[in-house]
Amino acid sequence: MSKHTFSIGGVHPHDSKISRDCSIQPLPLPPTVYLSLSQHIGAPSKPIVEVGDKVKVGQPVAEPGGFVSAFIHSSVSGTVKSIGSRKDLAGNPQMCIEIAVEGDEWAEGIDTTDTLITAIPEDNKAIIEKIRLGGVVGLGGATFPTHVKLSPPPGSKCERVIINGCECEPYLTSDFRVLLEKGEQVVVGAAILAQVMGNVPCTIAIEENKPEAIAHIKEVIVKLGYKGIEVMPMKMRYPQGGEKQLIDAVMHRQVGSGALPISEGAVVQNVGTAIAVYDAVQKNKPLIDNTVTITGECFPRQANLLVRVGTPLQYILDYLGGIPEEAAKVISGGPMMGKAVSNLEAATLKGTGALLLLTEKQTLRAPESNCIRCGKCADACPMGLEPFRLNRLAKANDLEELENNSVQDCIECGCCLYSCPAHIQLLDNIRLAKAAVLGAIRARAAAAKAAQDAKK
């Protein structure tokens, strides 16, 4: 058994990988796609097309709206029908570009063949520019623009690239299938990332419940002959795939409160991001699709589908036979960190990785009882926080003490909720409190900047 794991907290939910044997299959194109302009961390993108324009697959339709932002490309060929507000999966309005699908004609210059290209360009600036132009963002959940992550601030130095193939969230199997079926592209993408960061060592971390993937990636590394890339089997432990937890497990370094991974010499990327980097650099293919797991014990057709960005969720579920009667809730993501879907007409984003269907019994919350200060939530917190204290401060709306107790460091993994014998909704309460504190921090920073500007 692997001993590689993080040093603080964590829980051990059943992995429930019931879709692990489902090979990746392409989803037929929907009649219409809806491309959100806010599908990455940072500023929303700005449309560069107009209603009535004809577009091809891979053609840019929106440009970055700021430094931390990303290009968005058409995932289909067709006609732009509208640019306006549309509800996302939570029912909140988001600006979207609606494209009526009229075929699958790709933009010029994109290599759509299966030929593996292993020779890596030598110009690192040109590589990062291709990644930027390809609209690549992190596909491990945060959707941070990848070109920004690969351009650390002056004085920062990367010592190791870590590719996150842990997929510790229960039910999810898309990364596992990518490692098995597209392992060569993952390794080439990892090699590109390691070169860009200064030819540093690269670790591909995979949880030990995926022995086939571990063996396959080891074989691919030997076959392709890249130096400095290793596979590290990881202990099954949630949230093993958390960015700071991986750095702890692989490099035995802890990222400080409010600090970025690069402060400890690490750059972490998901296996899906490594594929997207390969596509952008070697194939000139922008990020227009992603592998999505559709699963749940109540769902008769388990699947891992290659889905074009902007595909309506209802279309995906209908393709697999529709939602069964016993399904009470659809989750975008896994059961620990996923978000409940209130609007099935919402469309997939670049970072959509799974649709999980749960029964009423599985979603039923036990009644809360009083906190007995047992400390199990604190023991389980991988960030070393005290969720019982944060929950009490959240109820009191004490933003100052919440900040002093580092609520902003919460990664919203759900370990506290999972471990609480009193069934207190710790995650919900702390998540809302964290948002309020982050809002106060931003307002404070904006006020300070305004005061500084006024003095000039």
Each residue's pLDDT tens digit, 110-136: 999 999 999 999 999 999 999 999 999
- Cis status of the peptide bond prior to 153, with omega within 30 of 0: no
To the nearest 10°, the Cα dihedral for 27, 30, 35, 41? Answer: -20
Q: For residues 221 and 232, what is the distance between their CA atoms, to the nearest angstrom?
A: 13
pTM passes above 0.85: yes
* 277 close to 63: Cβ distance less than 8 angstroms: no
> What phi and psi, each to the nearest 5 degrees, are found at residue 124?
-65, -35
Q: Which residues pair with 191 in a beta bridge?
A: none
Q: What's the N-to-C CA distance of the chain in angstroms?
A: 61
Q: Which SS3 state, helix, strand or coil, does residue 303 take?
A: strand
Collect all residues with Cβ–Cβ distance below 8 Å to 100 and sequence separation of at least 6: 31, 32, 78, 79, 81
Q: Which helix (H) or strand (E) holds 86?
A: strand 77-87
Q: Which residues pair with 307 in a beta bridge?
A: 290
Q: For residues 42 and 350, what is the distance between their CA atoms, to the nearest angstrom?
A: 14
- Tens of pLDDT, residue by residue over 204-217, are 999 999 999 999 99
For 140, half-sphere exposure in the C-beta direction (CA atoms, 13 angstrom radius) is 24
pLDDT at residue 454 in the model: 85
Token couple for 261: 């991974």
Burial 352-377 (b: 16+ CB within 10 A, else e): bbbbbbbbeebeeeeeeeebeeeebb
Low-confidence ranges of the chain (pLDDT < 50): none
> What phi and psi, each to the nearest 5 degrees, are found at residue 112?
-100, 10
> What phi and psi, each to the nearest 5 degrees, are found at residue 308?
-70, 140
pLDDT at residue 455 in the model: 81
Q: Which helix (H) or strand (E) holds 391?
A: helix 387-395
pLDDT at residue 1 in the model: 57
Strand 24-26 versus strand 303-308 pairing type: parallel
pLDDT at residue 60 in the model: 98
> What single string gives the DSSP state of each residue in 260-288?
-GGGGTEEEEEHHHHHHHHHHHHH---S-
pLDDT at residue 258 in the model: 85
